[in-house]
Amino acid sequence: MSETGGGAPQLELRGITKAYPGCLANDHIDLKIMPGEIHALLGENGAGKSTLVKIIYGVLAADEGDILWEGVPVTIPNPHGARKIGIGMVFQHFSLFEAMTVSENIALGLPGRQNMRSLEKQIIDVSKNYGLPLDPQRQVHTLSVGEKQRIEIVRCLLQNPKLLIMDEPTSVLTPQEAEKMFETLRRLATEGVSILYISHKLDEIRALCHKATILRGGKFINECDPTKETAKTLAEMMIGSSLRAPAHHKAVKGGDVRLKVRNLTVPATTEFGISLKDISFNVKSGEVFGIAGVAGNGQIELLSALSGETRSQAADAVTLDGEYIGWLSPNERRDLGLAFVPEDRLGHGSVPEMTLSENAFLSGYNRMKLISAGFINNISSARYATDIVRKFDVRTPGIFHTANSLSGGNLQKFIVGREILQKPDVIIVAHPTWGVDAGAAAFIHQTLIDLAEKGAAVLVISQDLDELFAISNRIAVISEGRLSAAKSLKEITVEEIGLLMGGTHGTGAPKEASHVA
C-alpha cells in the first residue's frame, strides 16, 4: 500500500472534513505519515493546516473522515488522548503560565506528580541534547519568545512521542540552532519517530523533509517529494499562482540620515531583562536596515526605546530627521513621522477585545485626523479601517469584529497596514512576517520596500534571516544588548551573522564563507 514497502503508516487520515459556519476549513483531506518520516504540511494562512493539526491532536473533532493510528481506526477525543497514544505537539502560540518557572510549567504539562529535582535534570539533559538551552529555574515571564518556544519543544520531547507535530518551530532560532535542531529531528526520525512539520520556510522543508503535503483553501492539492522540487515550485503549489520575489531596489548611497541612534544605553527594567549598551546606528532615507538576533537579546528593549515606551536618558540618544526625540512620548514621536509595529500583535500592537475600527484609531488618531472638534470621528475611523482591510487584503467579515477574531497573519497585515497608511517618514517593524503565509509575507515585504523607495527609512527587527536578506540593504546583529557594526548586504554572510548572534563581535568571520543573495 505504500511505496516504502511493509508496515502500516504511523498515522493515516482519510477524507477528513471539517466545516465552520460559512467556511469549509478541511475538504476531504488525505494524509499518510510513515514511521520515521519527516512530513511537511505546507499551506497559506487559512489553507486549513491549523484545523487539520487540531483534529489530529484532538482539539477539534472532524465532521467526516477517519483517523488511522498504526493502521487501526481511532477517535482522538482530546489532547490528553492524543498524548496517551503518543502524539506530541509544539504549538506556535504558547500555553505557559508566566508567573511560574520553566520546570513548573513543564511539570504541569506532564501526567501525574513529578519529582521536581529529577525533572529539572531531565530538562537540562533534553535541552542540551537538542540544542535548546534552558534554565529550569527561570520564571517564564522573564523569557523571550524564542526561549518560551524552547520550553514547549522540551516539554514535548520529554514524553517520548511517536508522532511529533511541530508548528513553525524554527522561526525563533539562529541558523546554527536550527541546523542543530534538524539534526535532532533527523535523529528522532531514524529512531522511528514520525514528524509532521509545519513551516513556511521552503528551503528548510526541502532540506529536512521526506514528504510534503500541500493544502490550499481547505483542499488537498498535492503530495510530493520536496527534495525533488525547488522552493519556487513548492511556493507555487502553495499559493496557486506564480510567486513574485520582492523587487529589490538599488542600494541607496546618498540618502539623508532620517533615524539616528547614538550611544543609546538603557538599564534593564526587570531582574532578567536585557540592558542596552551603547547602541549606535543610523538609517537613511530609502534604506531598509535589518537588525538580526536571537529572541531575548534586547530587541524588545530596543524597540521600546525607539518607540518612546521607554524614554532615553539623553535626549540626543535618538534623533529623527535632525530632531532630538529621546525624551518624547510615543505620541510626540508619531506626530514627527515615526511609526512602529511591535513584536506582540495581540495586546501590544492591538487591543484584543476592541473592533478593527477602534484599533485603527488606536495609533492613527492624530496623523489620520480621526478626532474632530474634540470628539472621536467614528465615520472616518471606520473609513480608515476599511481602507486598511482593503489595501492590505485583511480577511475579516467586517471592521466591527474584534482584533482577536482575526488569525495571526491577518492581524499582522492589519497592523502593518495601519502604520504604513499613516505615511511615516521612519517605520520600525518587529518580525514583520512572523506566522504570516508566503503570499502575505511577500506582500508585506514589497510594501516595506516600496515605502523605502518613496524616501522613508525602514528599520526591520527580525529573527528570520531569509527575510532580512530578502529586503535589507544593511544588516546589524544584536546580541546581549549590544549592536554589531552595520554591514551592507553584499559584505555579510549568513555564517558571519550566525557568529555575531552567538556573541562574537565583529572579528574572526570565516573567510571562505559563501555569499547569500
Partner 1 sequence: MWLKIEKRPEYSKGMVYATPLIALLLTVLSSIILFEVLGVNPMEALYQFFVAPLDSTYGFSELFVKATPLILCAIGLSVGFRANVWNIGAEGQLLMGAIFGSSLFIYYPETESVFLLPVMILMGAVGGAAWAAIPAVLKTRFNANEILTSLMLVYVAGLILSFLIHGSWRDPAGFNFPESQTFSDSADMPILIAGTRMHLGTLLALLAVLGTWIMMARTLIGFQVKVIGEAPRAGGYAGFSQKKIIWFSLLFSGALAGIAGISEVSGPIDQVVPVISPGYGFTAIIVAFLGRLHPAGIFFAGLLMALTYLGGETAQINLGLPLAVTGVFQGMVLFFLLASDVLIHYRFRWNFSTKAVS
Grid cell 540544542 is found at 131
Q: Contact region for partner 1 (CB under 8 A) — 208-216, 259-267, 291-299, 352-360?
A: 352-360
- Beta strand ranges found along 34-92 (DSSP E): 38-42, 64-69, 72-74, 87-90
Q: Does 77 bind partner 1 (CB under 8 A)?
A: yes
362 belongs to the binding site for partner 1 (CB under 8 A): yes
SS3 annotation, 390-408: HHCCCCCCCCCCEHHHCCH
Residue from 269, 276, 406 nearest 349 by CA:
406
What span, in angstroms and rounded, lies between the C-alpha atoms of 243 and 474? 25
Name which of residues 78 to 117 contact partner 1 (CB under 8 A).
81, 84-85
Q: How far from 429 is each of 340, 416, 452, CA to CA, in Å? A: 6, 8, 13
**For residues 54 and 474, which CB has a smaller minimum distance to partner 1 in the complex?**
54
- Short-list 344, 378, 349, CA closest to 361: 378
363 binds partner 1 (CB under 8 A): yes
Task: Give the dihedral sign, CA 343/349/355/361.
Answer: negative
Q: Which of 137, 160, 230, 404 binds partner 1 (CB under 8 A)?
A: 404
Q: What is the closest distance, in whole angstroms, from the C-beta atom of residue 421 to partner 1 in the complex?
A: 16
**How far from chain centre, in Å, is Cα 356?**
22
351 lies in the binding site for partner 1 (CB under 8 A): yes
The count of other CB atoms within 10 Å of the CB of residue 234 is 23
Q: Contact with partner 1 (CB under 8 A): which of 7, 347, 398, 506?
A: 347
**Residue 414 binds partner 1, judged by CB under 8 A:** no
365 touches partner 1 by CB under 8 A: yes
Residue 375 found at the interface with partner 1 (CB under 8 A): yes
Nearest distance in Å: CB 347, partner 1: 5
Instruction: Single out the residue of 1, 245, 376, 485 in contact with partner 1 (rule: CB under 8 A).
Output: 376
State how far the Cα of 498 lies from the Cα of 514, in Å rounded to an integer: 13
Q: At its nearest, how many Å lie between partner 1 and the CB of residue 174?
A: 27
Q: Which of 231, 243, 252, 354 binds partner 1 (CB under 8 A)?
A: 354
CB of 374 to partner 1, least distance (A): 7
Q: What does the alpha-carbon distance between residue 413 and residue 9 come to, in Å, rounded to a whole number? A: 39
Q: Cβ contacts of residue 179 below 8 Å, gap of 6+?
A: none
Phi, psi of 461 (to 5 degrees): -105, 120
> Would you count residue 64 as binding partner 1 (CB under 8 A)?
no
Cβ-based neighbours of 359, under 8 Å, separated by 6 or more: 350, 351, 385, 403, 414, 418
Question: Which x/- pattern over 417-456 shows residues binding partner 1 (rule: CB under 8 A)?
Answer: ----------------------------------------
Exactly one of 358, 437, 464, 466 binds partner 1 (CB under 8 A); which one?
358
Residue 371 binds to partner 1 (criterion: CB under 8 A):
yes
- How many other CB atoms are there within 10 angstroms of residue 503's CB atom? 12
Segment near partner 1 (CB under 8 A); pick from 29-37, 278-286, 312-320, 330-338: 330-338
The residue from 66, 225, 323, 332 that contacts partner 1 (CB under 8 A) is: 332
> Which residues are near partner 1 by CB under 8 A?
61, 72-77, 81, 84-85, 307-309, 329-332, 334, 340, 342, 344, 347-354, 358, 361-363, 365, 371, 374-376, 378, 401-402, 404-405
